[in-house]
Amino acid sequence: MFAYLVRRLLFFVPIIFGVMLLTFVLFFVVQSPNATARRVLGQRATPKAIENWLHNRGYDKPLLINQTPGEPWHDSLFLNQMQRLATFDLGASDVTGRPLAEIFREGALPSLLLTVPAFFASLVMSIGLSLYLVFIRNKAVDLAASLLCVMLMSVPVMVYVIFGQFVVAQVLNYFPAFGFQLKGISTVKFLVLPVCLMVVSGLGSEVRLFRALFLEEMGQDYIRTARAKGASTAVVLLRHVLKNGMINLITLLVASLPFLIMGSLLLENFFGIPGLGNVLFSAIQAPDFAVVQASVFLGSLLYLGGLLLTDICYAWADPRIRLQ
Amino acid sequence: MKMLDQIWVQNLCVVAGYSLLGTVLWYGTRSDRWRAAWKRLKADVPGMGALFVIFAYLLVGTLESLTISAESGNLTLLQKLASGVPQEKSYSAPLAKTTLSVAEPKPLKAVHLLGTDALGRDTLVQTLRATRSALWIGGLTSLIYIPLGVLLGMMAGYFRGWVDDVVQFIYSTVAAVPEILMLVAILMVLGKGLGTMAIALGITGWVGMARLIRGETLRQVERPYVAAAKAMGQSHWKILSSHLLPNVMHLVLIKFVLGFSGLVLAEAILSYLGVGVPVGTPSWGAMIDASRSELSREPLVWWNLTASSVALFILVLALNFFGDALRRAFDPKRGE
C-alpha dist (Å) from residue B25 to A254, B18, B21, B35, B43: 38, 11, 6, 10, 19
Which chain A residues touch B if contact means CB-CB below 8 Å? 14-16, 18-19, 22-23, 26-27, 30-31, 150-151, 153-159, 162, 166, 170, 212, 215, 258-259, 262, 265-266, 280-281, 284-285, 287, 289, 292-293, 295-296, 299-300, 302-304
What pLDDT score does B336 carry? Answer: 44
B62 — phi, psi (to 5°)?
-65, -40
CATH number 1.10.3720.10 is the correct assignment for the domain at B133-335: yes
Report which secondary-structure segment, H or E, holds B76. Answer: strand B73-76
Which domains are delineated in chain A? 2-86 (no CATH), 105-317 (1.10.3720.10)
Q: Where are the domains of chain B?
A: 133-335
Confidence of residue B202 (pLDDT cuts 50, 70, 90): very high
B210 versus A30: the higher-pLDDT residue is: B210
The model's pLDDT over B255-292, given as tens digits with 9 standing for 90+, comes to: 999 899 889 888 888 888 778 888 778 888 888 888 87
Nearest to B188 among A158, A262, A284 (CB): A284
Q: Share the mean pLDDT of chain A.
A: 80
In chain B, residues with a C-beta closer than 8 Å to the C-beta of A14 are 169
What pLDDT score does B50 carry? Answer: 94
Do the beta carbons of residue B148 and residue B212 sit within 8 Å? no
Pairwise CA distance, residues B89 & A58, whole Å: 53
The model's pLDDT over B114-126, given as tens digits with 9 standing for 90+, comes to: 878 777 788 888 8
Do the beta carbons of residue A74 and residue A271 sit within 8 Å? no
**How close does chain A come to B234, measured CA to CA in Å?**
34
Nearest to B321 among A31, A150, A293 (CB): A150
Beta bridge partners of A99: A92
Full DSSP string of B171-219: HHHHHHS-HHHHHHHHHHHH-SSHHHHHHHHHHHHHHHHHHHHHHHHHH
The model's pLDDT over A278-320, given as tens digits with 9 standing for 90+, comes to: 888 888 777 777 888 888 888 888 888 888 887 787 777 777 7
The model's pLDDT over B40-67, given as tens digits with 9 standing for 90+, comes to: 999 989 899 999 999 999 999 988 888 8
Do the beta carbons of residue B130 and residue B308 sit within 8 Å? yes
How many CA within 13 A on the CB side of residue A138? 7
The model's pLDDT over A198-208, given as tens digits with 9 standing for 90+, comes to: 888 888 888 88
- The verdict on a CB contact (< 8 Å) between B269 and A296 is no
Pairwise CA distance, residues B285 & B277, whole Å: 9
Residue B1, pLDDT > 70, answer: no
Beta bridge partners of B70: B73
| Encoded amino acid at A190, one letter | F
B120 — phi, psi (to 5°)?
85, 10
Do the beta carbons of residue B204 and residue B179 sit within 8 Å? yes
Do the beta carbons of residue A210 and residue A133 sit within 8 Å? no
Beta bridge partners of B69: B74
